[in-house]
Homo-oligomer: A and B are copies of this chain.
Amino acid sequence: MTGASKRAGITDVAKLAGVSLSTVSRAMNGNPTVDPALAARVLAAAQELGYTANPVARSLVLGRTQTVAVVIPDLENPTFQAILRGLSRAATLDGYHVLIADSVEDLAEERALAGTTRRRTDGVILCSPRMPQDELTALLPTLSPVVVINRGVQDGAPVVAADYGAALRELIEHLVAEGHRHLLYLAGSTRSASHVARQEAIARALADHDDLVIDELPAGVGFDSGTAAADGVLDSGATAVLAFNDLVAMGLLSELTTRGIRVPEQLSIVGFDDIPFAAYTSPPLTTAAVPASELGERAWQAMQALLQDEEPTPFQTLSPQLIVRGSTAPPHA
């Protein structure tokens, strides 16, 4: 029995190569002040022992972990999944690791996770943080470097956001162009920043069209919120529904289909986000395509800039794109 041989440390390599620790360190890090022959000898020794510098030890001395944290409200939401994916892939390309933290829509968790994860990483990206603005304002400085996704302009943190207001506005105009004059907005998480942006978009649309009516019905953010809203939708008398997101739209669509109500003949429905499944419902969903994975990518770029002491764009907006599919049509006479 040779026993379980422990992983090789820098000392082992130094010994095998017959040099000092410092030389090994320098060689491993490609420091040009090392004699090429010596460096080669060191690298060979390292290879032979399968040596790689312990990342934790490096992190301690260098003060950086090559890792960033992403705090998201709900790992179950397709949009957040897409953001995470874009972010993760972009960060990986730059040699960074990603620590995820799912706050499960819990405000206290969100606050706590941001702080905890920040300490073991080089920066944190807050995705659609649910906490109120004053809390966020107080938290951001303690988290620096930090990037925020989907909130308004912030002091002390670059923001990358989708323009929810503009997108909703396009959706509304599409419906108006089709001839609808009585819409119903199914409101989702009122804590989300996009809620505010949407309210404003609605107000502006109302101001622009004298004969337009837009009712609002509080709903939620998932399938079930959509199915649960069916009664309210039918009672409202609206000819078209603006769902908070595609999930809600799908839930509603499914419930209406079950009840024998035909979409879009009897009622038009639009979703929001354009999750991958929106194209596969019957009828396929008219929606606004939020470039979620690109949002994640941009957020990483902002973080990357911060990490390199560069000046990132303080506030950038990505425009969702109107996708007209089969769930909208002119109202029936």
User: Could you list which residues of chain A lie within 8 angstroms of chain B, going by C-beta atoms?
Assistant: 52, 54-57, 59-60, 65, 67, 75-76, 81-82, 84-85, 88-89, 92, 97-102, 104, 117, 119-120, 223, 250-251, 253-254, 257, 276-277, 279-282, 284
Contacts and interface: CB of A to CB of B under 8 A. Distances in A.
Determine how many copies of this chain the complex contains: 2
A102 B92 contact: yes
A102 B85 contact: yes
Given A57-B60, A75-B88, A99-B100, 13 more contacts: A54-B119, A60-B60, A67-B99, A75-B84, A76-B85, A88-B100, A89-B104, A92-B102, A97-B120, A223-B276, A254-B284, A281-B281, A281-B282
B117 A97 contact: yes
Contacts of A88: 75, 100, 102
A119 B254 contact: no
By DSSP majority rule, is chain A's interface helix, strand, loop, or mixed? helix
Contact of A280 (B82, B104, B250): B250
Nearest to A293: B76
Given A97-B117, A282-B282, A85 B75 contact: yes
A72 to B, nearest CB: 10
5 contacts: A59-B59, A81-B81, A89-B104, A254-B280, A277-B280
Contact of A120 (B55, B279, B282): B55
Given A98-B100, A104-B89, A282-B281, A119 B84 contact: no
Contacts of A277: 250, 277, 280
A89 B74 CA distance: 10
Nearest to A88: B102
A229 to B, nearest CB: 15
A85 B76 CA distance: 7
A119 B279 CA distance: 41
Contacts of A52: 119
Contacts of A279: 223, 254
A279 B282 CA distance: 12
Given A92-B101, A251-B280, A75 B81 contact: yes
A257 B75 CA distance: 32
Contacts of A101: 92, 97
